[in-house]
Amino acid sequence: MSPIKPHLDSQSVYLVSSHTTSSSDLVTDYHVFFVTGNPGCIGYYHAFLPLLISGFEDRGLLDVKLHVYGCSAANFVDDNEKYKKGKILGLKGQIEYMEAKWQDYVNLQSLESRDRNGIDQRTRLKVVLMGHSVGAYMCMEILRRWKGREKEVSKQAAAGRPQSTIGEGVKDLEGLQGVEIVGLIGLWPTITEIARSPSGRRLGWMLRIPQFPLAIGVFVKVLTRVIPHSTLEKLVALVTRFPKSAVKTTTDFLTSSQGVIQALSMAADEMRDITKDRWTDEIWGMAALFEEKHTKLLFYFGAADHWVADEVRDNLISARGYKEGDEAWKPKMWVDGNSIPHSFCIHHSSTAAMKTVGFLADIIQADQRSLR
């Protein structure tokens, strides 16, 4: 496989920070794997993700290099690779797609790291999962599956059995053994009871209508074929008041062959599947009591998020979030105080990035302290 080069396009984004070295001249790489919300177009984050890099560089952390990778979800952009022959995917299918992309990425980066630094079985690729909206839910599922496979690999090794493919579509366990998920950041996360949110209550009944996604998708397709692309782009700009980059992403999404149907089909699954807290204490962080290293979880909620009911958010924070005097393994959860909306990546990328860089620095510094 060819080394991945920095780029920023409608399919994917890959960016790398510069770094400040100390006299040790030993640099540690940390890899952010970013998962979009719905619609799953990475183009909406073209302003936000570069600001993570520049903000991180301004922090001046010694001997640390940050890599940021993210990609569009399946079927949202026409130049995206075909997955399962263009089949419309539900939430579970999109999780599997993102998990496969994550696996491909970490395998490639592991190979590059070994080529650069030589093979060292003690060195593991350090990854921070980061997701916006339903992307945070998908990150939690990727974490759950990864932890399950880590356990199974350990059991097989203890029993002296050869590795085999272990569940849920894993292609290469050897690569995943060289991975350490050091942190997970959920931004404006929709991880429980989305149907109880203001938007969930308004739209949920429509999404339950049989063939609703298909009907709307066909209607939009007919409409966008009648309206010239340049005119549609002007209409999108006029109606949404989005910046130019987001207008282009929205127009490309609306004119894509499957994007609208895919977004609505996935949203219908979200209403049905994202209900009660489905993760064990171990996934939420309790495993830290039994493991030398653990995944640090951070969640940043909107103050008046139309995709998250205030009561649902507050109940989750009360049940799962760290409070003074609690066990240190509990996830940190905050509520935004800057009136940033759910779709932060449209008009509020700078403020959101500043916050997120702080979260990244906390995770990386905690990981480095654990190595001393």
Question: For residue range 136-170, what is the model confidence (pLDDT) as tens digits?
Answer: 999 999 999 998 887 777 666 666 665 554 444 44
Contact 138, 128 (CB under 8 A): no
pLDDT, position 150: 77
pLDDT at position 182 is 94
Q: Which pLDDT tens digit goes with each residue over 87-102? A: 899 999 999 999 999 9
- % of the chain beyond a pLDDT of 70: 84
Closest alpha carbon to 301 in 256, 334, 327: 334
Q: Look at the block and give the residue holding tokens 């009591």.
A: 289
- Predicted pLDDT of residue 170: 46
Looking at residue 291, the DSSP 8-state letter turns out to be: -
* Cβ contact 175:106 at 8 Å: yes
Is the separation of the CB atoms in 358 and 366 below 8 Å? no
CA 160 to chain centre: 35
Position 82 pLDDT exceeds 60: no
pLDDT, residue 169, reads: 46
Mean pLDDT for the stretch of residues 180-204: 96
Higher model confidence: residue 27 or residue 335?
Answer: 335
Which of 229, 249, 233 shows the shortest CA–CA distance to 77? Answer: 249
Do the bridges between strand 64-71 and strand 125-132 make them parallel or antiparallel, or are there none, so unpaired? unpaired
Report whether pLDDT(181) > 90. Answer: yes
Identify the top-confidence range among 40-49, 178-187, 324-333. Answer: 40-49
Give 98: exposed, middle or buried? Use CB within 10 Å, 0-12, 13-18, 19+: buried
**pLDDT at position 4:** 86
pLDDT surpassing 60 at residue 118: no
Instruction: Return the pLDDT at 291.
Output: 64
306-315 residue pLDDT tens: 999 999 999 9
pLDDT tens-place string over residues 240-250: 999 999 999 99
